[in-house]
Amino acid sequence: MVQSRVHLLISDSMNDMAECSINFLLKSRRSNSSNSSKSIKSSSVSSIRDGGVILFTSVFSLQKKMFCTTCEILSGALIVITAYLLFQWFLRTLKVGDFNQKYVLVTGCDTGFGNMLAKQLDELGFNVFAACLTKEGVADLRGCCTQKLEAFLMNVTKKEEIEKAEKLVRSRLPNDKGLWALVNNAGVLGTFLFPECMTRKHYDEVMDVNIYGMIGVTTAFLPLLRVSRGRIVNVSSIFGKVTPSTCIPYCISKHAVESYSNGLRCALVIQNVTVHIIQPGGFATNLTLFETIERRAIRDFEASPIEVQQYYGKKAFDHFISVLRDITGHLDTNLQRVVSCHIHAITARYPKYRYTPGFDAQFLIPLLRMLPVWLSDRISIFKPEPPAGLKTVKTQ
């Protein structure tokens, strides 16, 4: 009896121990599984975080390399451009030398650019042939220059006078010498007026001097320029690029000078004769005196048909004159800017093909040419006063 009870107690104890062992194993297994899942999650998060850091580092490194490469390219380009500009500047400073052995012909030496150029070339030691339109211009140069400057009369519109001048120059040149430079400076401004008031005569008088005279002189002296492998310097204008409505004949002539010079340059390059253009802006010379411009405008307006005068009316004409007064009052008075370009074109070993002296020629006109036509036209018109006839038509 007692033994059976003991055996029962022992079996119950063993069952309890087994149950406890099983429960412990189950709990430990659950805890292990939960811990493993947590570790898997934490490892996944850490791996994603590490991948993001690596990706960001790679992108940043790539951007840094691209930035460094771009900087290297830009700095290299800047160095090349700077070196080119410095080299070009250096070439422009080189001179031909032996000025006293070189002969230069300048037209239009009575006043203005031509007069100043002839005197300064004489001071530099050049042998100068100064062509003038008037006896007063000849007397002025003979009175203030050395014996190496020879002033003479020549009207560039007269073929016989050009031929006479060519014979004079040829007789003064040594046998083995030719002309080093021809400066086609002679020019006229013509009349500033409404297009409807212009006649064929207004166009002819400007074209005869500014382009046909230039062509005649160049053709006559070209053989002498070939002898010395010289250069031609043609004086154009900013009005060879733009055309205000107030001076159409003058603008046409200067556009023609541009075309003639460009074509001549291409034709003569194989003959070792170079062609260069001086394209000045607005400068105050005897040609641009307001009194002279006003007097011509009044004369030609009053000579226009009565119907044209009535259509424009006094108010529009007076406004036109006031605009001309404002323009001529703001012209550049430093003529040396232009003359210095002439001298560089004559004396430099590597002269420029085009010179644009003057603020308006260098900045304003190029800017104007970049604008749309409708906008540049509005700016070029200078706010004109509408003709009286136009107001009448609108009223009707």
Q: List the catalytic residues.
A: 250
Percentage helix, strand, coil for the chain under 3-state DSSP, each rounded to 5: 70, 10, 25
DSSP state letters, 317-381: HHHHHHHHHHHHHT-B--THHHHHHHHHHHHBSS--SEE--SHIIIIIHHHHHHS-HHHHHHHHT
Closest CA to 189 of 87, 284, 302: 284
Measured CA to CA in angstroms, residue 385 lies from 98, 146, 231, 259, 323 at distances of 57, 52, 46, 34, 10
Please tell me the distance from the alpha carbon of residue 344 to that of residue 234, in angstroms, as a whole number.
13
Residue 148 near residue 118 (C-beta atoms within 8 A): no
Which stretches of 125-247 are DSSP H helices?
135-144, 159-172, 200-207, 214-227
- What is the torsional sign of CA 213, 217, 219, 225? negative
Q: Which residues of 81-103 are buried (b: 16+ CB within 10 A; e: fewer)?
A: eeeeeeeeeeeeeeebeebeebb
